[in-house]
Structure 1
Amino acid sequence: MSDPQESRPASETRRAWQDLLGALAEIDADWIGPQRGLAPGREHLGIRGLGMALWGALDLYLENEPERPHFVRLISPYRKWGDNPDAIYFFAPLRGDLTYRVQGRRGREVYLSLTVHGGDRDGHWPTRVVAELNMDDMAFDADGSFEVVLSPEAHRVNWMPLEEDAGSVVVRFYFNEAQAASAQPELVPDLRIETVDGPEQVPVPDDETVARRLRRVEAWVRSKFGGQMLGPQPRRRPSWYSEVPNTMGPPVDWTDGDGGGWGAVDIAYSAGEYELGPDEALVMEGRLPEGLFTNVVIWNELGQTADYLERTVSLNDTQMELGEDRRYRVVISHRDPGVPNWLDTCGEPRAAVFWRFMLPAEPPEAPVCTVMPVDRVADGGQ
């Protein structure tokens, strides 16, 4: 006797779910292995990264609709992709033809901004910045409260224009403190979003609704492993990313001309990769420009930090020990060389080094990099 369910047409949700499972299997086969730069024995990094991307996609899209969005924290000490321990980021999906109100209150952050991205409707990779607003251009109440309107029509104060391809808003809170902001569970920014002209009530999710949300989940996961954000080679490198190991690229202000994405227009970036033997150290030296914030962080092949709750894998300019005229000397090595400003490789022989210079008062210089025996770092390599 045949199973009656075999002749029953699949629901849209089941088809979308099967497509999502197929995408995960495709990424597993195509991205998580040596053909994309993950050496044998390191597949666990890819699987962990894929799990985190799926977790994020479900959080951002499965129960979040642009008609009635809510803010979702993008990354945390436990969910990582391109993460920054000194910042707390929030995401909400948008539609370019609606009007939204974002409300919140200033706290201890040194930098606050909202960025509307375009081209990323339904979970796709953002291709451009539609609008950007930072705290210098915002009006605040006496208690630090603020209200920002996102809409196609102009408003007088704290307005961000929306265009047809607008798909998301990202809110950034940067902190310059002795302890990484993301490692402080009590540090929760005051932030919320509501739709001004959307539906009064969200309908109970039906088959079509859940299927549509799952399609967004699939698109988000694919965008992370499609050569854009996560995954080793090949992928497009921005102009500020050095292709030569143990060197950093020239700091450049972020623009979507480098391939789109979720960068901040107020930051100059510089990056490269270290490649060190067990007894080697990379020494980075230079002068920090005056500005709101600077930090340096180590990422693995999947754009993830190691556990910064337990190890020092990033430094901001409050945490750094600086010399005269804001001179710095940051050391990356597999073991503690006994000097200030040490970044722990956590045993990784090769990883990315990522610098951020927030609203620098002058153009920042690329760090000068030198590889030397780790035992010679304390005496300056002499």
Structure 2
Amino acid sequence: MGTWNNFCRELEKAGAFLDRPESPLDEIDRAEGLRYLTRLLRVGLDLTLEFADPHHPALVSAQEAHFGDGGNTADCVYLHAVIDGRSSYRLRGTRGEAPLMEIGIYDGKIGLDPVSKRIDAVTEAGLVVDEHGEVDVRIGPGFADNAGPNVLHSDATTRYLFIRQYAHDWRSTTPATLSLELLDPATATPPPLTLAVVEDALDRSARFVHDAAVAWAAVVDNTRREPANVLTPVPDGIDMTVPTGHRYAFGHFDLAEDEALVIDFRPAEVPYWGLAINNYWFEVPDYEGTSGQVNNLTAQPDAGSTVRVVISSRDPGVPNWIDTFGHRVGLMVFRWFRTPLPVPEIRTRVVPVASLAASAAGI
């Protein structure tokens, strides 16, 4: 069948991405790269076929342990939906317990659309929650500017709803339970599936696999051009997809099996900071565990309020250890959220793992 053959040819182009000179050659990175392409395909099919009708919207998970498109953190629960900015929607349900939350609408999604700029957003600071813990948010083009705090103003370019919920420990935090409905439904039930819809979805999802991989790899490759084992603050105001009030420092580690990266900084009191590693494909290596990241509630500072984080392939027996999960090289992301304060000074040095283990043992 021509449609399926075209789909497979587009996927073959996406697979060639793994053979770029910049792509890593280690077996674990190659294996994760192949798996990453399958995960991108799942996201692409969700957004172009399974949940793609903005007139019968579905709010679904955007990133989890077993699928996603990159740039995520295990401290965040992500939800998304395809919408039409010319229509009006109602988002409602329980607020949940996440300390930080942002509901944003965009003119596209990275990898799927030419641009991805935030059109409007509301965070936990402006979101009104009733006495029962419920939220009711309206999204659309026809609401007055004084319609209230829980209103997001869309325009004809708006096509994507993205919700982020950040918590320090999801094992003891309840996420929001939300539903999305169209306020001006054209039909009560979705129309019958057509060949044209499927053909377009297969074409767009296959191209998404390639384009999303290229977009996120560009971030990683740019970071890897800088010196290894250093975290560098990202300048403010360079990307409208960044959540409100968020700052970052990026870097990459490059460590031998017997080496450890020691990271020292003294953070101010802020709503959230977190330090995590990702693989080359910008995926979280330990999504459901606690060994791949630390944050301002899980970290153990010293008596002088300095936090020391250690990244290594072997557990040196010290607090705030981040496991590399078999990766010799990987991405580091420091998140510094909901504060006007600049990213703190971050000092790094590479030491033998044995020296840390000996120190921890009191030798």
Structure 1 counterpart of 2:158, from 155, 160, 166 = 166
The more displaced of 118-127 and 325-334 is 118-127
Residues of 2 paired with 1:79 and 1:296: CA distance? 21
TM-score, normalised by the number of residues in structure 2: 0.88
Residues of 2 paired with 1:200 and 1:70: CA distance? 15
Aligned length: 353
Residues of 1 paired with 2:110 and 2:248: CA distance? 26
Residues of 1 paired with 2:255 and 2:143: CA distance? 53
Summarize deviations over 1:4-54 as a string: whole Å, max 9, x none.
Answer: xxxxxx7xxx53x4333222101112x112523221634222211101111
The more displaced of 139-148 and 38-47 is 38-47
Residues of 1 paired with 2:307 and 2:225: CA distance? 20
CA 216–198 in structure 1, closer or farther in 2 if over 3 Å, else same: farther
- Tell me the equivalent position of 1:5: none
Residues of 2 paired with 1:119 and 1:92: CA distance? 11
Summarize deviations over 1:288-327 as a string: whole Å, max 9, x none.
Answer: 2222211111111111122344561111221111234642
Query: Is structure 2 residue 78 aligned with structure 1 residue 89?
Result: yes
Summarize deviations over 1:141-195 as a string: whole Å, max 9, x none.
Answer: 1112111111112341211111222120101111122xxx2x68x9553111111
Q: Give SS of 2:21's match.
A: helix
CA contact (8 A) 1:121 1:165 kept: no
Superposed CA RMSD in Å reads 2.6
Cα distance, 1:349 vs structure 2: 0.9
Residues of 2 paired with 1:275 and 1:76: CA distance? 26
- Tell me the equivalent position of 1:27: 14
Cα distance, 1:82 vs structure 2: 2.3
- Tell me the equivalent position of 1:288: 267
Structure 2 counterpart of 1:267, from 246, 260, 264 = 246
Residues of 1 paired with 2:309 and 2:195: CA distance? 54
- Tell me the equivalent position of 2:202: 214
Name the aligned partner's letter for residue 250 of structure 1.
Answer: P
CA 59–366 in structure 1, closer or farther in 2 if over 3 Å, else same: farther
Q: Give SS of 1:154's match.
A: coil
Structure 1 counterpart of 2:24, from 20, 28, 38 = 38
Residues of 2 paired with 1:311 and 1:341: CA distance? 10
Residues of 2 paired with 1:126 and 1:164: CA distance? 14
Cα distance, 1:330 vs structure 2: 0.3
Query: Is structure 2 residue 42 aligned with structure 1 residue 55?
Result: yes
Q: How does 1:321-332 map to 2 (within 5 A)?
A: 321-324=300-303, 326-332=305-311
CA contact (8 A) 2:274 2:294 kept: yes
Cα distance, 1:361 vs structure 2: 5.4
CA contact (8 A) 1:95 1:166 kept: yes
CA 301–318 in structure 1, closer or farther in 2 if over 3 Å, else same: same
- Tell me the equivalent position of 2:60: 72
Cα distance, 1:251 vs structure 2: 4.8
Residues of 2 paired with 1:96 and 1:361: CA distance? 31
Residues of 2 paired with 1:343 and 1:120: CA distance? 31
Residues of 2 paired with 1:206 and 1:99: CA distance? 25
- Tell me the equivalent position of 1:358: 337
Give ranges in structure 2 of 5+ residues lacking alignment. none
